[in-house]
Every structure is written in C-alpha cells, then in structure tokens.
Structure 1
Amino acid sequence: MTVQPLEQQTYLPDDANEVAEVLSFISRLEAKTGSKQAPRYLMIGPGEHEQVEIPEHAYQVLHQVLQAMQRGKAVTVAPQNTVLTTQQAADLLGVSRPTVVKLLDAGQIPYETPGKRRRLVKLDDVLAYRAVRREAQYQALMDTAADYDDTESSEVIASRLKKVRSELGATRRANAQTTTAD
C-alpha cells in the first residue's frame, strides 16, 4: 500500500464480509474487556516482531470508517490544518466568509490576528462553535414543538404555533440588537 499525499481522498467499500469480520472481532473484544481495562490496539507488519500500538483516537477513526463501509457508504478523508483562515472556517461551517468575520467580531469564535487584517482561527474553536450552534438549533426545534390533543382543532394548533414562532422571532431580534449594540 502506498501513502497518498495529504489530500482529500474518498474510499469505496470493497468487501462487506471482510469489514463485517473486523467489526465482529472488535465487538467481541469490547464485550470481553468491558470497562475493566483499557484495550490496546496493534498494527502488525510483515516481519516477525514488527508491530506498533495504535493510539486510541486513531482506533476510533478506524472504527468509524469500518462502520460506514459496512453500511455500504463511501468514506472521505479530508485532512485539515489545525489553524484555519476565515474562508476555510466558513467552508467548514457552511456559511459565508463575511458571516464568519461577524462571528469573530462578536466574540463567538476566538481568533488570532498575526498581521493587520488576516485572522486565523483554531480548528477546535470552529468545531466547538459548530457543536454549540447545532445544540442551539436542536433546542430551538424542541422549543417550537407543540404537544397537541387530537380533539383540538387545526385552527387552535396553528394559532399556538404562530404564537411560539413570533416569540422566538422576538427573542432573536432582541439578541441581534444586543449583539450589534456591543
């Protein structure tokens, strides 16, 4: 096997049986050890006594890749720098670069400015912001969810939803005004 340069690479699932066999082996080991002791993972080379221990985080990546391939999914490995430009952060978050700049100016994502204008953002800060944003989105969905009784009319349910949406909109506008005033 040759090592590819650090570029994005997509791998297609080959033999589902081989992947299933490895995942079955891993499951048996995890069931055996449980939480008694931390398991060790080794990569074995072709020669006698050629082996190296695989770090836990590398094992987790491999396990996730194998699970996806077992489900028939292709897996893309996309190396990222640990320090990103605002455009790279925007691409990762799925927003525009000016939006990222606004988030930086608002203090929602920490950054460094090594020059006059250029801003550098740590990858872990961007990932942390993305996790917080997703949690807020899920919470907003839960807040707009309404329990209803089958006996209630659709007009009553619609008016309740409208009230919740308007309250949520008012909260967002108040937060936006507070952010821009700072």
Structure 2
Amino acid sequence: MSAATKQETYLPGEDEAQVVQVHDFLKAHEDMGRGRPESRYFLSGGTPNDRVELPAELYRVLRQVAEALQAGLAVSIAPVTKTLTTQQAADLLGVSRPTVIRLLDEKEIPFEKVGNRRRILLRDLLDYRKKRRAAQYAALEATAVDDDEDIDSALNRLRIARRGVAKRRRGNSME
C-alpha cells in the first residue's frame, strides 16, 4: 500500500514551535487579505530555483492541519476515491446504508449503477450534504424566537415550522 492510499494520523509533536510558526504565518497573511491571500505560496528546496507553487486545495489542507496541530489536536488524512459505495456514502453522511439507498431511490442524490451496485460521485454526495445542512440551518432559524415576540404568535410560528419539516420528511417537498 502506497503512502497515497493509506490513512494516516498525525499527532502534535516536539516540533510544536515550528507548527505554531507555520500557523501564525498563514493566519497573518490571511488576516492581511481577509481570506486566502492573493499572493501565492510555494514549497521550496535547498536552491533558489527549487520551488513549486501550492495549489489552493493544498493550501487549505495545510492551513487546516497547522491549525489543528497548533491547537494540540491529532490530524487524520484518509484518501477517498471520487466514486463511493453506498456504505462509504453512509459513513460520510453519518447515516445508515438503508437511508442512503432510500435517498438514491428518491432521486435526492444522483448515482449510477454498475451491474447491480450503486456508485455515487463524491462531488454529488458533498453537494447533497451541503444542501441538507442549509435546510437544517434554515429550519433552526425558523424556530428562533425573538425576545419581543408574544408567546402565542411564537408558538403558532413554531407549529408551522414543525409541520413544514414533517412534510419535507415525508417527501412531499425538498425546499
């Protein structure tokens, strides 16, 4: 098994000062530009011409790893294929495999069949997860009560919000 295909966990180590230095460097540059800086980042070797630009994806990974290690957390890197089985999709969503199959059958998540097996593109699964989270946050927002709202109107609004959630769960609407 090559390093690219195995899961690995990294613990904060004795080089904590270097991790803090990397974290602070990345954070300072982000703070100056409010987000990922326009300037480019490079990995460099021992000579001036021995360098390569970091793509945006690797920059984000490096930033997240540095932040976690600096906070004293362990970091696991687990390569994932671009096409997932229903069990892998269930694990990623934190639901059961039968739930994923139901979502596929209800056409909530696109998939393709290879023989008698369902295959889900990682991109499609991540899109579904993003939409699901947005719907969950919207439902939470709908249940928020203002301090100056009277109790009867707040309870009525909460009943309506609960009915809307129940209706969506029954599959009548995916809004």
Deviation at 1:101, TM superposition (A): 1.0
- 2: distance between equivalents of 1:56 and 1:5? 19
Give the 3 Å change call, closer, same or farther, for CA 19–170 of structure 1 in structure 2.
same
Contact 2:41 2:53 in 1 (8 A): yes
- Counterpart residue type for residue 52 of structure 2: V
Give the 3 Å change call, closer, same or farther, for CA 27–162 of structure 1 in structure 2.
closer
Give the 3 Å change call, closer, same or farther, for CA 178–114 of structure 1 in structure 2.
same
TM-score (norm 2): 0.80
User: Could you give the per-residue CA deviations for residues 2-33 of structure 1, whole angstroms, max 9, x where no partner exists?
Assistant: x7352221111123321121233334555677
Give the 3 Å change call, closer, same or farther, for CA 145–120 of structure 1 in structure 2.
same
Contact 2:86 2:97 in 1 (8 A): yes
- For structure 1, the residue ranges without an aligned partner over 5 or more in a row are none
Give the 3 Å change call, closer, same or farther, for CA 104–50 of structure 1 in structure 2.
same
- 2: distance between equivalents of 1:13 and 1:29? 23
2:146 pairs with 1:147: yes
The number of equivalent residue pairs is 169
Deviation at 1:137, TM superposition (A): 0.8
Equivalent residue, structure 2, for 1:166: 159
TM-score (norm 1): 0.78
Q: Highest Rg: 1 or 2? A: 1
Quick one: percent identity of the two aligned structures? 43
- 1: distance between equivalents of 2:42 and 2:90? 37
- 1: distance between equivalents of 2:20 and 2:171? 54
2:172 match: secondary structure: helix
1:80 match: secondary structure: coil
Equivalent residue, structure 2, for 1:178: 172
2:132 match: secondary structure: helix
Equivalent residue, structure 2, for 1:8: 7
RMSD: 2.8
- Counterpart residue type for residue 144 of structure 1: T
- For structure 2, the residue ranges without an aligned partner over 5 or more in a row are none
2:100 match: secondary structure: helix
- 2: distance between equivalents of 1:88 and 1:123? 10
Contact 1:44 1:52 in 2 (8 A): yes
Please, which moves more after superposition, 12-21 or 70-79? Answer: 12-21
- Counterpart residue type for residue 105 of structure 1: D
Give the 3 Å change call, closer, same or farther, for CA 25–108 of structure 1 in structure 2.
same
2:125 pairs with 1:126: yes
